Chains A and B, each alone.
Chain A
Amino acid sequence: MVRVNMPDVVVVGCGGGGAVIAKELAEAGLGVVALEAGPWHDPQKDFTGLEWDMLNPVDAVFRWGPADRTKPPWPRRRDGIPLLISTAGVGGNTLHFGANCPRGYPGPMELDWPIGYAEMIPHYEKVEATLPIVVPEIASPKDQLFIRGCEKIGIDHVSAPDVMRSGWRMQPNAILPVAEEAKELRYPSTDGCTQCGQCIVGCRFPDNAPLERTAKRSTNVSYAPLAVRTGRCEIRTGCFATRILTEETKDGVRARGIRYRDLDGRVFEQDARVVVLAGGAIETPRLWLASELPNDGAVGRYLTTHWFEYVSAEFGDDVEMYMGQTAMARADFPGYGFVESQGLGPLTWAFVSFLGRSWNDGGEGPWTTKGRLIGAALKRKMESYRRTLMLVASVDDESVESNGVSLADGLADENNPAPFVRYHATPTSIARREWLVAKAAEILLGAGAIPESLHRADAAPSTVHMHGTMRMGTDPATSVVDDACEAHLVKRLFVGDTSPFPNGIGGPNPTLTAQALATRTATKIVERYF
C-alpha cells in the first residue's frame, strides 16, 4: 500500500473526477493524497447483481452513507428533486453509471464555457484512450429496435464524436470491447464485456477478472489503480472531509489543507500545497459552505440535472431489455438533449417508470398511461417486462441561479450540516423536455411498438446527472472558479468534478466531460504551482 505523508496535493473525493486528477498529478510527479468517504469495493466479492442489495437508498452497497451498511445513510433535504443519487466509494457515481461517455455538445460549450470546446478536444482524446472508450460494433436487441425506430422516422446516422447536428449513433461507452464467444464466460478465457446487462447494478465481469480487467471502466477499476501504481498517490478510504483549511496571505486567502474524520471518528488535518475538491456537485459546495469560505454569491448555485423522462412501450415479440450493455445506441438532438434505449432490471425499471410525480389519470397525446400505476395495472405492465423497450430522454436544461445547494437548517450528519438541494425546471427546460418526449414516442412507434401500450413516467427530477454548483467563469458574481478551475476567492483551491460546468453541456452524459476537464485542470495545477 502506498503511503504519502507530505503530499503536494490533497484531493477530496475519489469518484469520476477525483480519481482522474489524482492519477494525472501523480503521473506528473507530484505526491497526492485522495480522501474518499466510502470504501474501495472488491467487485468480485461485493457486487451481487441484486437490484435492491446494490441500489436501494437506505442500506445498499451503492448509497450515500458510511461503508458500514448497518449505519443509517447520510441525510439530505430536498425541494423539487426527490431522488438524490450519490454513491460513497472509490469510483463514486461511476460505480453505478451506465458508462455512456459521449463528448459534450460543441454549441453550448462554445457559448457558455470560458474555455470553449476546441480547447477540450485533446483532453477528451486523452481520457478516451486511457479508459478506454469503445464504440461497440454489436447492438443488443433493445438497441437494434431503437435504431430501427430512429431510421423509420428519418433520423440520420452520424458517427463523428463532435456532435454538430442531430442523429443516431452507436454509443461511446467506457466499457472494454465486447468479448469473443467462449465456452465459459470467465477470465482469462473471456476478457472484455460479457454483455450481462448489469452496468448500473455494478460491473464485476467477466467473472474472476482482476480489478483492472473489469469490463465497465468506473474509476475504481481504471484511474484509481493507475494513480496508485505511480507510487505517488495514496487513497485513504473511510475519510470524510469536514473542512477546507485556509490561511491569510498578503495576496488574500489561500487553501492549506483539509480536516477530515475517519471511520472511528478520529479527526486529522492533512496539509498540502494545493487542494482539489471533487466530491460531486452536491458535496463540493456543501464543504465550501460548511468551511465558511468567502462567497460572492455563486457558490452552490446554477445546478443542472438534465431532468430525465422515462418512456416505455410493449412490442409483439420479446425485447429482453436486460441483455447487453445498458445503452448501446443514442440519438442526439442539439438544442434539446438526447434520447437513448436503456436496459434495466425489473425493479429499477419499475422504480423509474411507475413511481413518477403524478398518479395515472390516463395519458395525453400518444401516451395511454402517465405517472404512477398500482394494483392490477402495475402488475400487467410488469408482466410485459420482457416485451418492453424503455427509452430515456435527457434534457438540455437551463442553468439558473435559483437551482442549487445550500446548508440545511436543523439537519446534519456526524460531519457537517446536511446539504439542502433544490431544483425547479424553467419553462424553457420544460419545453425542451416535451419536444424530446414527443420524439421518443415517435421512435417507439417507428420501431413497431403497440400504440395502446405507450407509458410515460412523469419522472421527478433526480441527480443521476448533476453539475454546475461551482461554476467556471470570469465574473466572481456568477462563477466560483476561473478558467483553470481554481477558485476566484481562495488561491490554491481547485475543483475537479462536474460542478465547474457553466451549463449542462447540452444534455449528454457528463462523465467524460468532467474527466477531460479534470485532466486539463491537472495540467493547470502543475503550471501554476509546481
Chain B
Amino acid sequence: MAAPDEVLRALAETVVPGPPHDPSFGAAEIQAEGFIAHYLESVIPGLSEGVATILDGMATELRSGAAFPDLTLEERGAVLRKLCEHEVQDLRELGDLLLALSLASVYGEWSGLDENGELSRLPLGWELTGWPGPAEGYQALLRKRSR
C-alpha cells in the first residue's frame, strides 16, 4: 500500500507527466496531490484514502504486489481508463472526477496561488499553454477612434 499522497501524485503525473517522462514540468512538480486531495475531501471526507485503496487494488490486479505508483505511466493510464469504464456508475464517476482534478491541478490557476489564495506567480498551465492570463481587453480588437 502506498500513502494516499503518493498515489494521488502518481495519478496526476499520469494525466500530466513531467521529467523524466516528458521534457516540460508536469503535475508532480507542482505537488498536484494537494489540490486533488483538497477537492476529494470536500466531496466526501476520507475519499483520498479511498481512492488510494482503489487504485492500489487495481494496480495489484494488473501486476501482483504492485502499488499504483510502482506502475509505469502506461500501466497507470490503463488502470485509470478501466476505472472510468467500470460497470458501476459511482466508480465511473470517480474516475471522471480524478481525471478532471488532475487536469485542473495543472491547467487551472491553482499552482499560481499563494497561501492567501492570491495569484502571485505564473501558474504552470499558463506557462505550458502560453496563455497570458485574463486581460482587461485587447486594444488591437477595439474600434478605431473616430476623428
Contact = CB atoms under 8 A, between A and B. Distances in A.
Interface of A: 48-53, 56, 58-59, 72, 82, 137-138, 140, 177-182, 185-186, 190, 193-198, 201, 205-207, 322-324, 345-347, 350-351, 354-355, 359, 372, 374-376, 378-379, 382-383, 385-386
A385 B109 contact: no
Given A178-B141, A359-B81, A376 B17 contact: yes
A386 B16 contact: no
A347 B107 contact: yes
Contact of A382 (B73, B110, B128): B128
Given A359-B84, A375-B77, A385 B130 contact: yes
Contacts of A359: 81, 84-85
Given A56-B104, A82-B93, 11 more contacts: A51-B109, A59-B42, A138-B143, A180-B146, A194-B142, A195-B138, A379-B26, A383-B128, A385-B130, A385-B131, A386-B129
B129 A181 contact: no
B16 A181 contact: no
22 contacts: A51-B109, A58-B42, A82-B93, A138-B141, A179-B142, A190-B137, A194-B138, A196-B137, A196-B138, A198-B134, A201-B134, A355-B99, A359-B84, A372-B84, A374-B15, A374-B77, A375-B17, A375-B21, A378-B16, A379-B128, A385-B129, A385-B130
B131 A194 contact: no
B3 to A, nearest CB: 23
A138 B140 CA distance: 11
B125 interface: yes
B28 to A, nearest CB: 13
Contacts of A181: 139, 142-145
Contacts of B26: 379
B29 interface: no
Contacts of A193: 137
B88 interface: no
A181 B146 CA distance: 10
A207 B84 CA distance: 43
B84 to A, nearest CB: 7
B142 A180 contact: yes
A386 B128 contact: no
Main secondary structure of the interface of A (DSSP, over half): loop
Contacts of B134: 48-50, 196, 198, 201, 345
B103 A351 contact: yes
Contacts of B1: none
A139 to B, nearest CB: 9
B88 to A, nearest CB: 14
B96 A205 contact: no
Given A179-B137, A323-B138, A374-B15, A346 B126 contact: yes
Contacts of A372: 84, 99
A168 B139 CA distance: 26
Contacts of A52: 104, 108-110
Nearest to A186: B136
Nearest to B112: A50
Contacts of A345: 131, 134
Contacts of A205: 136-137
Most B CB contacts (10 A, CB to CB) among A186, A195, A205, A206 go to: A195
B131 A178 contact: no
B6 to A, nearest CB: 19
Contacts of B141: 138, 140, 178, 195, 323-324
B137 to A, nearest CB: 3
A366 to B, nearest CB: 24
A90 to B, nearest CB: 23
Nearest to B93: A82
Interface string B71-84: 00100010011001
B120 interface: no
A346 B103 CA distance: 11
Contacts of A378: 15-16, 103
A510 B92 CA distance: 31
Contacts of B139: 181, 185
A347 B22 CA distance: 20
Give the top 3 A-B pairs by smallest Cβ distance, nearest first: A194-B137, A49-B134, A52-B108
B120 to A, nearest CB: 13
Interface in B2-34: 14-17, 21-22, 24, 26
Interface in B106-132: 107-110, 119, 125-126, 128-131
A378 B13 CA distance: 12
A415 B139 CA distance: 47
Contacts of B133: 49
